[in-house]
């Protein structure tokens, strides 16, 4: 076992002073220079960590000087470093807002509690501060730091990451780098070089010939390491004015290369915004450094910033939109023994979900519960779920709003899809909780003063909850005072019936009935569940607000064999698709064929990270991530004869040729961070998902032992016939000849949200979290096909 040499008193003082300098620089970088909340976090303090009624331990927490990670005292003998990265934090909640704190603490602790909730399946950290003021300062400080981190551009993130790695490589913290430390650092940043190359690089930077790198020598090493030849070549191609880019040169670059119809005034504003050299700025020139700064900002991202906010018409009828939808929303894991939790609903809502499922069963003490019936999944109280939905459906923390720069986020309606297995008595309790907790936010009557013949739009339904479920009578009853018996029977919905069918296999339709409480029935307004038999039957017998749920196999069959009829059905009504019950691991089906058929509520298991969920997040990436995407006109026009499988001439056919060059990547993460010798061999695959004629996949060769700055310069060409339905997916993998390639990062977006020209592509983890310092550099040109 290796031991760590203890620093002398004088060395410790020097080290502590250096830590303060580093913390100051990092705090300045995230815009918190001199902020008292940041200083509070850096100083740290004792908090009570709560895991159960009996497990409460005092632990010391503080923010490390990298201003990105929290250090936590641990009682484990051999575990010196403990804590978490703030990049992994989903949100920080003040008060007893988690199931753990509500279960294991008393109400008297309310204003001293806060929780750190993570993006991954890592357990939430529940904490109690010594006072209300201290708890609020912890929350305020953490939110400020997280906001600052997310506001860093790619260049700043890269710089921050590299310097953090350098500090880790500096084993004795003397602010000098030996050749051995340099080799360790190169492995840490995911690049493997020969000893001779490392020595050559070291000697080139060791201008003082002292045998160590320090000060300006480390800066020289950093500049050599981060030099990007491909950017220099682009700059040189357009810098025609004494070796620099004038306003006119930059205008030519933007108009010709980036295909942006911008003015000279716009260009001069870019120079003012991104140029780092004051002399160049005064002369209205853009230097190489300024150009690199511009390339790393939002204007140069592959995702069109014009699509970041809400830009679509939100007053169309509700069924004219794709609606981000979750299945078995209550589950944190699989549907056999996974945990049910209100946290799962909150996580789904923060991923733009606007339709959630509540699988309701009779519970103890007269209180209905939610869980996956007849399994070992845990149970959560129905009323607790409704409280969580009330709290988080239309509300998000300020730092997330600032990060997304989308102030229309989370305002459009949420559909509560009830799978009702409860007795009449507990259905009445459900109705009581819905009305008493949601209050005026619950839609209990059609909008307007007369019977509607079509849906209202998302704009009219802002901030409202809609109940999807069975109803005893027609919606007209809400206007003509038509009464029904207090209790009546209705045909069971397909999905709810599946469970019973599996157990008792009823022989006649009369046994497939459920008793329904009028109190719950009356809350169903625009989403009345009905059984689907044929499109003709639905057209002739069902009103616009009567909707069917389709198991994935049935929906896929209809999409495959009757797509045009399915599309026309969805022009008048809503359709909900759900995964087959056989998916016990909570896996997902491909949602794309269902969107191609105009289905609005294509429900997926949000708790399962997979390609299908990645496609779902990409579909709802534009339009402010509000969970509603307006369907193409050809899926809304009654005269349309669009058939995804058999493409005829029509407004949907806007054939494009996509020319795509994968140029390079920057700062790809290690797959196995515990193994310093594990260097990735990256390759990039580009996939197109859309109508069958557009589905395609191509990949680059792999680069050996370089995840830091690999270069491919590989050209691809794709033909896309229906761009309005196409998604483009970038996947970076670690090549392995002997086994399955490991995922390094990915990014998916709608074809119509891509920008032309030289663009940076951000990379996400499998669970959808941004990898701050990593990205691809590509060239895109989508042209009208001849």
Q: Which of 160, 307, 320, 372 is catalytic?
A: 372
- 3-state SS string for 484-549: CCCEEEEECCHHHHHHHHHHHCCCCHHHCEEEEEHHHHCCEEEEEECCCCCHHHHHHHCCCCEEEE
Q: Residue 174, annotated ligand binder?
A: no
Other Cβ atoms less than 10 A from the Cβ of 631: the count is: 21
Q: Residue 273, annotated ligand binder?
A: no
- Give me the residues paired with residue 662 across strands: 714, 778
Q: Residue 384, annotated ligand binder?
A: no
Is residue 701 flagged as an active site residue? no
Q: Residue 269, annotated ligand binder?
A: no
Q: Residue 75, annotated ligand binder?
A: yes
Q: Residue 210, annotated ligand binder?
A: no
Q: Where does 671-734 show beta strands of DSSP type E? A: 682-689, 696-699, 711-720, 727-734
Number of H helices, E strands in the chain: 25, 31
Q: What secondary structure letter does DSSP report for 737?
A: S
Q: Residue 121, annotated ligand binder?
A: no
What's the gap between Cα 97 and its chain centre?
A: 22
Q: Which of 524, 546, 545 is nearest to 533 (CA)?
A: 546
Alpha-carbon radius of gyration of the chain: 29
Q: Residue 52, annotated ligand binder?
A: yes
Q: Residue 766, annotated ligand binder?
A: no
Q: Are 720 and 726 within 8 A, CB to CB? A: yes
| Max Cα distance, the chain (Å) | 94
Q: Are 521 and 470 within 8 A, CB to CB? A: yes
Q: Residue 8, annotated ligand binder?
A: no
Environment class of residue 108 by beta-carbon count within 10 Å: exposed (0-12), middle (13-18) or buried (19+)? exposed
Q: Residue 105, annotated ligand binder?
A: no
Q: Residue 643, annotated ligand binder?
A: no
Q: Residue 69, annotated ligand binder?
A: yes
Q: Residue 241, annotated ligand binder?
A: no
Is residue 433 flagged as an active site residue? no
Round to whole Å and give the CA distance between 24 and 38: 10
Q: Residue 576, annotated ligand binder?
A: yes
Q: Residue 233, annotated ligand binder?
A: no
Q: Are 129 and 154 within 8 A, CB to CB? A: no
Q: Residue 530, annotated ligand binder?
A: no
Q: Which of 750, 737, 773, 755 is nearest to 665 (CA)?
A: 773
Q: Residue 704, annotated ligand binder?
A: no
- 3-state SS string for 373-391: CCCCCCCEEHHHHHHHHHH
Q: Which of 160, 307, 320, 327 is catalytic?
A: 327
Q: Residue 71, annotated ligand binder?
A: yes
Which tokens hold the place of 163?
A: 């310097």
Give the H/E segment covering residue 361.
strand 355-361
Round to whole Å and give the CA distance between 88 and 336: 27
Q: Residue 703, annotated ligand binder?
A: no
Q: Residue 56, annotated ligand binder?
A: yes
Report the first-to-last Cα separation within the chain, whole angstroms. Answer: 68
Q: Residue 681, annotated ligand binder?
A: yes
Q: Residue 549, annotated ligand binder?
A: yes
Q: Residue 694, annotated ligand binder?
A: no
* Known binding positions for substrate: 49-76, 468, 470, 549, 576
* Known binding positions for Ca(2+): 328, 357, 359, 419, 679, 681, 705, 734-736
What residues are labeled active site? 327, 372
* Known binding positions: 49-76, 328, 357, 359, 419, 468, 470, 549, 576, 679, 681, 705, 734-736
């Amino acid at each position: 076992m290796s031991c760590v040499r203890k620093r002398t008193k004088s060395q410790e003082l020097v080290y502590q002073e250096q830590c303060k300098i580093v913390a100051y620089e990092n705090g300045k970088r995230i815009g918190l220079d001199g902020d008292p909340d940041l200083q509070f976090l850096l100083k740290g303090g004792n908090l009570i960590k709560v895991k159960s009624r009996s497990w409460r331990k005092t632990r010391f927490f503080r923010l490390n000087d990298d201003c990105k990670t929290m250090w936590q005292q641990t009682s484990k003998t051999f575990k010196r470093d403990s804590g978490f990265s703030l990049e992994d934090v989903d949100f920080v909640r003040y008060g007893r807002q988690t199931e753990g704190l509500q279960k294991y603490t008393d109400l008297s602790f309310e204003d001293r509690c806060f929780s750190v909730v993570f993006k991954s399946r890592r357990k939430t950290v529940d904490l109690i501060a010594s006072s209300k003021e201290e708890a609020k300062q912890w929350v305020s400080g953490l939110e400020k730091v997280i906001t600052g981190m997310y506001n860093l551009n790619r260049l700043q993130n890269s710089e921050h990451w590299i310097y953090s790695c350098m500090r880790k490589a500096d084993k004795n913290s003397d602010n000098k780098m030996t050749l051995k430390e340099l080799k360790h650092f190169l492995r840490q940043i995911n690049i493997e070089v020969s000893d001779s190359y490392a020595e050559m690089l070291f000697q080139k930077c060791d201008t003082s010939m002292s045998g160590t790198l320090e000060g300006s020598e480390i800066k020289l090493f950093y500049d050599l390491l981060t030099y990007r030849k491909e950017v220099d070549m682009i700059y040189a191609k357009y810098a025609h004015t004494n070796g620099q880019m004038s306003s006119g040169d930059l205008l030519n670059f933007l108009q010709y290369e980036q295909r942006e119809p911008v003015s000279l005034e716009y260009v001069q504003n870019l120079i003012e915004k991104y140029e780092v050299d004051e002399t160049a700025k005064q002369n209205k020139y853009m230097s190489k450094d300024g150009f690199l700064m511009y390339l790393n900002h939002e204007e140069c991202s592959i995702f069109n910033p014009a699509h970041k906010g809400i830009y679509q018409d939100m007053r169309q009828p509700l069924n004219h939109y794709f609606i981000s939808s979750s299945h078995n929303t209550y589950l944190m894991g699989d549907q056999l023994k996974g945990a049910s939790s209100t946290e799962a609903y909150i996580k789904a809502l923060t991923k733009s979900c606007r339709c959630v499922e509540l699988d309701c069963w009779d519970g103890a003490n007269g209180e209905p519960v939610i869980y996956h019936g007849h399994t070992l999944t845990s149970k959560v109280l129905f009323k607790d779920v409704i409280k969580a939905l009330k709290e988080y459906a239309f509300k998000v923390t300020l730092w997330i709003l600032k990060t997304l720069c989308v102030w229309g986020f989370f305002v459009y309606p949420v559909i509560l899809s009830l799978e009702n297995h409860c007795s009449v008595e507990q259905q009445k309790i459900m109705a009581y909780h819905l009305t008493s907790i949601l209050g005026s936010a619950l839609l209990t009557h059609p909008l307007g003063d007369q019977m509607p013949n079509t849906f209202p739009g998302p704009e009219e339904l802002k901030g409202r909850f809609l109940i999807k479920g069975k109803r005893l009578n027609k919606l007209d009853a809400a206007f003509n005072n038509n009464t029904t018996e207090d209790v009546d029977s209705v045909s069971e919905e397909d999905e709810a019936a599946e469970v019973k069918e599996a157990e008792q296999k009823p022989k006649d339709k009369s046994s497939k009935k459920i008793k329904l409480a009028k109190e719950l029935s009356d809350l169903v307004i625009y989403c009345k569940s009905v059984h689907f038999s044929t499109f003709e039957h639905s057209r002739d017998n069902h009103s616009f607000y009567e909707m069917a749920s389709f198991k994935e196999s049935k929906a896929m069959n209809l999409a495959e064999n009757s797509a045009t009829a399915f599309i026309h059905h969805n022009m008048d009504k809503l359709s909900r698709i759900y995964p087959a019950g056989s998916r016990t691991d909570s896996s997902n089906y491909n949602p794309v064929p269902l969107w191609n058929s105009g289905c609005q509520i294509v429900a997926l298991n949000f708790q399962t990270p997979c390609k299908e969920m990645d496609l779902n997040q990409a579909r709802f990436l534009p339009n402010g991530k509000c969970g509603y995407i307006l369907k193409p006109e050809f899926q809304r026009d009654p005269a349309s004869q669009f058939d995804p499988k058999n493409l005829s001439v029509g407004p949907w056919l806007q054939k494009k040729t996509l020319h795509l060059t994968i140029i390079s990547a920057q700062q790809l993460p290690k797959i196995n961070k515990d193994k310093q010798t594990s260097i990735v061999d990256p390759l990039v695959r580009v996939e197109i998902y859309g109508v069958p004629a557009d589905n395609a996949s191509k990949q680059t060769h792999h680069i050996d032992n370089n995840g830091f700055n690999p270069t491919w310069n590989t050209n691809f060409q794709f033909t896309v016939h229906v761009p309005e339905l196409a998604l483009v997916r970038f996947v970076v993998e670690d090549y392995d000849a002997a086994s399955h390639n490991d995922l390094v990062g990915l990014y998916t977006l709608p074809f119509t949200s891509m920008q032309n020209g030289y663009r940076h592509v951000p990379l996400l983890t499998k669970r959808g979290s941004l990898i701050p310092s990593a990205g691809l550099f590509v060239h895109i040109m989508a042209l009208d096909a001849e």
